[in-house]
Amino acid sequence: MQYLGQVLFLLLLVAGFGFFIKNIKKLIRNIKLGRDIDRSDNPKARMRNMIRVALGQSKMGKRPIPAILHIFVYVGFIIINIEMLEIIIDGLFGTHRVFSFLGVGYDFLIGFFEVLAFLVIFGVVVFWIRRNVIKLKRLNQPEMEGWAKRDANNIIYIETILMCFFLIMNAADGYLQSIGHGHYFQAGSFPISGLISPLFEGMNPDTVALIERFCWWGHIIGVMLFMNYLYYSKHLHIFLAFPNTYYANLKPQGEFNNLESVKKEVALMMDPNADPFAAPAEPVGEPEKFGAQDVMDLNWVQLMNAYSCTECGRCTSSCPQNTTGKKLSPRKIMMSTRDRLEDVSKILDANAGQFVDDGKTLLNDYITPEELWACNTCNACVEECPIDISPLSIIMDMRRYLVMEQSAAPVELNNMMQNIENNAAPWQYNQMDRLNWKDEN
């Protein structure tokens, strides 16, 4: 019986990490459904970008209030997880506060964790108020109905509960230490939980010890559950923000890629010596689609972007089209891409890894042409995104599909493009008149 706790703990860890690894594998599989894109260049600049933007939160500063609150939660959450190490060792070996031999250093650490835990609670409470009471517009737009809203609140509740477990556990421990109960020897300092300890006065010490154990178990079980919740949540950004900024586009924002598949065809058309009947140099497989109709036509960075999106809506609140009441919302572009990717993932799971056409595509069933045609390609969303996501690149790839595969551009745009092809200007002017301005008055 003596080892029951330890065995249960081990099982919990195995299950927790087991499911987590399974989800990570699925995540990687899904991201790899995307087309290849080379982002291996310039590792130093990429590393710098990651450190600045993801670790250093450099793009959050534009909006100082959420930036500071987010720092509380972010730093608090990362640092308090150091405590997990002790919890795991204690749990596996049946020890209690195994790091307490660090003495003053330990006291300091625990005290520091407590302050951070308090700041985390403070941060998420304000976040909750901003979302649910003040109802900030950016956090309550149409695409945030339903699961997105519940998800955001779930994260807030889970974090609050976890931090409460941590503080109550310390409060009980501190109280038991002060009365010299059982194995609760003097260890740690409790600047925050010390304020709760007096509540235990007069209680049966065994009950207090039970509360301490309950919170200890509650904390670790909660952490394991939360870890496995990430895959389904916008909270995935706590990991993906890092690769996402590392593999971000480092070129000027105005530079859109030149489609390789088009380059070949244009070269052929421009080459006066090309033999139109010559056998193609490459083996003819399925010809590459121009642009993107579904998630598999996007590249893996764009798919990773979709999983990384924090649904913060900074992009949408800076989008000229969205802020003037149009349907286009760059955040929704990312959320729809993830939704579709998840649906594709479910199809793969159900069919032994094979994709079976479900009659749906990202285009039309998740993102409508009306949204796509509204975009100004102004890059406000890209500039704004705190983790360097480019909703614009997805919009562009889908426009390319609409135009080059379906010839489904709005009529006026078709006219414009025809003019360019016929007379090298978007309007119907003769190229021979291009210099007339010189002599006009």
Partner 1 sequence: MSQNIVVPTMAEMMSRGETPEVLFWVGCSGSFDDRAKKITKAFVKLLNKANVSFAVLGTEEGCTGDPAKRAGNEFAFQMQAMMNIQVLDGYEVKKIVTACPHCFNTLKNEYPDLGGKYEVVHHTEFLKSLLDQGKLSIEGGQFKGKRITFHDPCYLGRANKVYEAPRQLIEKLDAELVEMKRSRANGFCCGAGGAQLFKEPEHGDKEVHVERTEEALGTQPEIIAAGCPFCNTMLTDGVKFKEKESEVKVMDVAELIANAEDL
**Residue ranges that bind partner 1, judged by CB under 8 A:** 62, 251-256, 258-259, 262-263, 265-267, 269-270, 290-291, 318, 320-321, 323-328, 370, 373-380, 382-383, 396, 399-404, 409-410, 412-413, 415-417, 420-421, 424-427, 429, 431-438, 440-441
Could you tell me if 387 and 53 are in contact, meaning their C-beta atoms sit under 8 angstroms apart? yes
Chosen residue from 194, 205, 320, 369 binding ligand SF4 by CB under 6 A: 320
Measured CA to CA, the distance from residue 372 to residue 368 in angstroms comes to 7
**What end-to-end distance do the CA atoms of the chain give, in Å?**
100
> At residue 140, what are phi and psi to the nearest 5 degrees?
-135, 30
Q: What x/- string results for residues 362 through 391 when contact with ligand SF4 is judged by CB under 6 A?
A: -------------xxxxxxx--xx-x-x-x
Asked if 334 interacts with ligand SF4 (CB under 6 A), we say: yes
Nearer to partner 1, 162 or 402 (CB): 402
The closest of 111, 91, 115, 93 to 103, measured between CA atoms, is 111
In the complex, least distance from residue 295 CB atom to partner 1, rounded to whole angstroms = 18
The tokens for 274 are 């090309």
Is the sign of the CA dihedral 23, 124, 144, 64 positive or negative?
negative
Q: What is the DSSP letter of 202?
A: T
Nearer to partner 1, 300 or 401 (CB): 401
Find how far residue 120's CA is from the centre of its chain: 20
18 to 57, contacts with ligand SF4 by CB under 6 A? none
The tokens for 440 are 């006009």
386 to 425, contacts with ligand SF4 by CB under 6 A? 387, 389, 391-392, 395
The closest of 360, 348, 378 to 294, measured between CA atoms, is 360
Q: What is the DSSP letter of 216?
A: H
In the complex, least distance from residue 100 CB atom to partner 1, rounded to whole angstroms = 50
The structure tokens 């450190």 sit at 51
In the complex, least distance from residue 237 CB atom to partner 1, rounded to whole angstroms = 22
Asked if 313 interacts with ligand SF4 (CB under 6 A), we say: yes
Amino acid found at 72: F
Nearer to ligand SF4, 197 or 249 (CB): 249
Could you tell me if 111 and 188 are in contact, meaning their C-beta atoms sit under 8 angstroms apart? yes
Nearer to partner 1, 220 or 380 (CB): 380
62's contact among ligand SF4, partner 1, none, with CB below 5 to 8 A by partner kind, is partner 1
Q: What is the largest CA-CA distance in the chain?
A: 100
366's contact among partner 1, ligand SF4, none, with CB below 5 to 8 A by partner kind, is none
In the complex, least distance from residue 235 CB atom to ligand SF4, rounded to whole angstroms = 12
Q: Contact positions toward ligand SF4, by CB under 6 A?
A: 309-315, 319-321, 328, 330-331, 334, 375-381, 384-385, 387, 389, 391-392, 395
